[in-house]
Structure 1
Amino acid sequence: MNAYAQVLLLALACAAASANQTTSTDEEHNPSNIIANGYAAYQGKAPYIVSLLLQNYDETPVDICSGVIISYDYVLTAAQCLRTEVVEVHFGAISRGNGQPNFKAYEYDFIRHENWPIFGYDIGLIRTPYVEFSATVNKINLPRLSQKNERFENWWATACGWGKLANGQTADRLQCVDLQIITNNECYESYGVLPSSIVCARTTSGKSTCSGDTGGPLVAHDEPVLVGLTSFNSADGCTFGKPAGFIRITSHLDWIQSNTGISYE
């Protein structure tokens, strides 16, 4: 998701900051370097995903992102997707920016995590009007309370979005890719020290999330729960083979509940 701002590592900083508190580099986590070699989704494959078109007040396009429906009136996404004035939200979309219902959300509808842009806190919410659920528009379940300490290591999961394809073109049709979640120790080999609020997935055979997928869902195969939100990829490129990085939902369940009232059992 080419969300124009750089994700910073383990320290409060702005996009121009050069300081780094870990063995990872800022450039490695640059969201400009964030599905490639995935597959086209059919209608209803991921009814919980929304297409986000980032704009200025004058409707000048800024970027694209994705979000995840977690209730009738809240969408979860990456905080970096909320650094704009307006976000056009498209529910039930297969084609990018062409879903029904759709509406425009403004800055006062955004809730960014108060600790962002500290690395690991790339999470935010969009308040939406009440949306009726259907076969093509529905929420995804959050992890249960009993799963709060679940790492989901070695689980298979699906990530979806409208980001760049392997040919470098931005997808018009929703794409999905199946990835295996790995340990943070394995992810360390590529990025250095990572906070526990990051979850990584192995990207083999060039299959990965890519630029334009930020804020999109990572959903477990065995049990349809939201494991993560697409956040970063290697600066080397999304098909280079380094792990894809996501925000770990279990690390932010209390934050989600306190800001939405949504409880998890």
Structure 2
Amino acid sequence: AEARDIRGRHWACCLTPAPWPSFSSSPAWPSWLQPQRGGSHFCGGSLISENWVVTAAHCSVSTTDKVVAGEFNLNSDEDNIQVLSIAKVFKNKSYNSFTISNDITLLKLATPARFQNNVSPVCLPSAHEDFPSGTPAVTTGWGKTKYYALRVADKLQQAALPLLSNDECKQFWDSKIKDTMICAGASGVSSCMGDSGGPLVILKNGAWNLVGIVSWGSSVCSTSTPAVYARVAELLPWIEETLANN
């Protein structure tokens, strides 16, 4: 699980996770980034190589939007950020805006991201890989910290939460849960508005693996109800086909 940047240096995909950051210091999530529209944050995403970003289809990213990599504090000019143009958008053709299934889009960057301490790729799981219920996971984003908040967070936030099996998740969401979805939470924390497209990761063999993409959940960001993510392992064949053909 390595990527090579344009200087030829090898970068392993987040093989040495930093401690959970205090939000007065630099972040420990160098694969996390944000598409921007009109200079404002509206969704999240993850670098899977120097040329490709994965995000949610429902974010409706276009080539007129920008990708910002390496940001931590939205109100600071001190972050060593990269503002990247998007060459092409590949929305999964099976995405269903009614059921929110297959909620994944790939963005091909116009110029490669430069890997450095605060910008690096996340690992992908194996196709159809299963993750046991209760597996500890982490999600990150600039979304609202409370449903009634008037704006998104200034600094990149993180929440540790357990994975649920789809059978467990159906106890909350019934038949809305499809095979291309994975659930996490109902544990006192949740993703919320503004987190869409961002990562749900687990630590496996010393590396952060992307298991989910923030998709949908409680309309009031309930922390006792699981949030729902696009299941990357089920969507991996589409990811690999898209990368191979483009």
Describe the SS at the equivalent of 1:177. strand
* Contact 2:30–2:118 (8 Å) recurs in 1: yes
**Alignment of structure 1 residues 1-265 onto 2, 5 Å:** 40=23, 42-55=25-38, 64-84=42-62, 86-96=64-74, 100-105=81-86, 109-117=88-96, 119-128=100-109, 129-145=111-127, 148-166=128-146, 168=149, 169-193=151-175, 194-205=177-188, 207-223=189-205, 224-235=208-219, 237-261=220-244
Name the amino acid aligned to 2:90: I
Shift of the 211–238 alpha-carbon distance from structure 1 to 2, 3 Å rule, reads same
Give, in whole Å, the separation in 1 of the partners of 2:154 and 2:105: 25
Name the amino acid aligned to 2:144: K
Give, in whole Å, the separation in 2 of the partners of 1:183 and 1:228: 13
- The range that moved more, 46-55 or 133-142, is 46-55
Bigger relative contact order, structure 1 or 2 (CA pairs below 8 A, ≥6 apart): 1
Give, in whole Å, the separation in 2 of the partners of 1:66 and 1:211: 11
Q: Which runs of 5+ in 1 are unaligned?
A: 1-38
Shift, 1:203, TM fit: 2.7
| TM-score (norm: length of structure 2) | 0.79
Name the amino acid aligned to 1:125: L
| TM-score (norm: length of structure 1) | 0.74
Shift of the 41–124 alpha-carbon distance from structure 1 to 2, 3 Å rule, reads farther
Give, in whole Å, the separation in 1 of the partners of 2:61 and 2:117: 31
Shift of the 110–41 alpha-carbon distance from structure 1 to 2, 3 Å rule, reads farther
Give, in whole Å, the separation in 2 of the partners of 1:43 and 1:220: 20
Shift, 1:172, TM fit: 1.0
Shift of the 176–202 alpha-carbon distance from structure 1 to 2, 3 Å rule, reads same
* Contact 2:63–2:88 (8 Å) recurs in 1: no
Shift, 1:152, TM fit: 3.9
Describe the SS at the equivalent of 1:178. strand
Give, in whole Å, the separation in 2 of the partners of 1:85 and 1:127: 9
Name the amino acid aligned to 2:101: G
Q: Which runs of 5+ in 2 are unaligned?
A: 1-21
Give, in whole Å, the separation in 2 of the partners of 1:116 and 1:210: 21
CA RMSD of aligned residues (A): 2.4
Give, in whole Å, the separation in 2 of the partners of 1:69 and 1:84: 17
Describe the SS at the equivalent of 1:257. helix
Describe the SS at the equivalent of 1:109. strand
Give the percent of matched residue pairs that are identical in Structure 1 and Structure 2: 26
Following superposition, which runs of at least 4 residues in structure 1 exceed 4 angstroms of deviation?
none
Give, in whole Å, the separation in 1 of the partners of 2:25 and 2:213: 21
Shift of the 172–219 alpha-carbon distance from structure 1 to 2, 3 Å rule, reads same
Equivalences, count: 214
Shift of the 238–208 alpha-carbon distance from structure 1 to 2, 3 Å rule, reads same
